[in-house]
Chain A
Amino acid sequence: MNAMIEELPQLTCVKASGRLDFEASSGFQTQMEAAVAGAATRGAAVVIDCASLEYVSSAGLRVFLVAARAAKAANIGFAVCSLVPAVKEVFEVSGFGRIIDVQADFAAASAKLAG
């Protein structure tokens, strides 16, 4: 699991790749907390680009919820985008799609959040 944080003018993009399972979830959560805090200080929204995220487990899912909550508490936009079918299915089954903004790709997320 790897997460690359890229700061764009009105967006912080977190490019997640690999497998987000129990072993990876703690490190990813720390990175997400830093990304959301950094975005909040400059009033930017956060997008997690999951194009290269192959797998997410129950432990990994929790990180998305923690990050979305932190973004809401900081009053900044939050979305995930480019879910591969396996990850999309986990989002659908768990119901995450009902509370987290899921966009088809980064362009759509960027257009929505950075306006």
Chain B
Amino acid sequence: MITLPEELLLLAVEDDGRIAYTAGLPGFGLAIIGACLAELSVGGRLDADLSGVRVVSTTPTGIAAQDLVLEALAKGPGRSISDWILELQPRGPELVAATLGILTQRGILAQQDQRFLWVLKARRYPMKDGREQREAKLRIMELLLSEELPSTADTVLLGFAAAAQLLQGFLSSAEIARLEHRIQQVGGLDLFVRGTEEAIRADAEIRARAFMTPLF
């Protein structure tokens, strides 16, 4: 069984094993954190409303990334979904590394270290057979091209993929523009996705303010 953060990470892997540039954008790390929260919620560890996240059970899941998030939430004060995501932002790389570790342990991804210009280290994650990534893409495409109501799993997958700009990895800009209405209609019908979108907006605003404010 593949988890939501794992599916998102797979969507960021290109055919040759390189990580898509969109994974370097701040939204990707925030979406991975949001996806961990959503997965914990589906797994009966968290519940949330518009004002905050509530820990329902502190029983570990056995999945490193999720347990790291669960532990932080169990120890921390009450915060909204978006505030928790921003709070956990510095731990985003740790969560990504833990999730990549699971995917490589399970043989879904391999890990290849290479040298670029003999000096710079470059790591690739070629897929074993790409089945899991294909399935995630197919679920998204079926949802986008049908008129059906989404399942709870598919709406969050689409919502997080859109928030993290991962749709660009397999859809052209023209296709995304054509499907925008459907993406808005059926993607992210979930408070954790909405909280993630809010965190991404807040993060962008902070960066914009910092960029536009003179240092001296």
A interface residues (Cβ-Cβ under 8 A, vs B): 21-23, 55-59, 61-62, 65-66, 68-69, 72, 89-90, 93-96, 98-99
Contact = CB atoms under 8 A, between A and B. Distances in A.
A45 B189 CA distance: 23
Interface string B132-150: 0000000000000000111
A84 to B, nearest CB: 14
Interface in B175-202: 184-186, 188-192, 194
A22 B50 contact: no
Nearest to B159: A95
B47 A22 contact: yes
A67 to B, nearest CB: 10
5 contacts: A22-B47, A57-B191, A58-B192, A61-B189, A65-B151
B191 A61 contact: yes
Contacts of A62: 152, 190
Q: Which of A56, A58, A96, A99 is packed against the most chain B CB atoms within 10 Å?
A: A58
A56 B51 CA distance: 12
B111 interface: no
List the 3 closest pairs (A to B, CB-CB), nearest first.
A22-B47, A58-B191, A58-B48
Nearest to A96: B189
Given A98-B185, A99-B186, A58 B149 contact: no
B50 A89 contact: yes
B87 interface: no
